Amino acid sequence: MKSLSNSEEQVMAALWACGKPATRREIALHLPRDCTWADSTLLNFLLRLEAKGYVRPDKQSNKNIYTPLVRQVTYCGAVSAAHLRTLYGGDPRRMMEALADTGRITNAEMERLARWLDNRVAESPEYDYD
């Protein structure tokens, strides 16, 4: 899976948020409020995403309708796994410790995640982290 820039990720997130194939204008409506790209900039990112195999444009009247070719869960899983390996040596506990130490995850979120992980380990022994 080819890596995406932060801007390309924003465009993909906006397209996924549309919930269906979308026009450039529909995608733009789902971009973060502080994103003030010109139409040509967004079109350029869509062209890059097409070249990387993430979207397919289909002509409808005089507009392109963009269809995501990669599911959000697939992309997020791949990126998360790569970061986990690269930054934390594959150890999710180290990642959670870093999030907790920097205040980027609350204690309640940590507890919820711990319960979720406990359930996963109980269901599938291959998730045993000890």
Express each pLDDT in 20-50 by its tens digit.
999 999 999 999 999 999 999 999 999 999 9
Which contacts (CB < 8 Å, 24+ apart) does range 117-120 have? 117/92
- Classify domain 6-68 by CATH number: 1.10.10.10
DSSP state of 105: S
- Where exactly are the structural domains of the chain? 6-68, 91-127
Query: pLDDT tens, 95-127?
Result: 888 888 898 888 888 889 888 888 887 787 665
Are β-strands 63-68 and 55-60 bridged in parallel, bridged antiparallel, or unpaired?
antiparallel
The model's pTM: 0.80
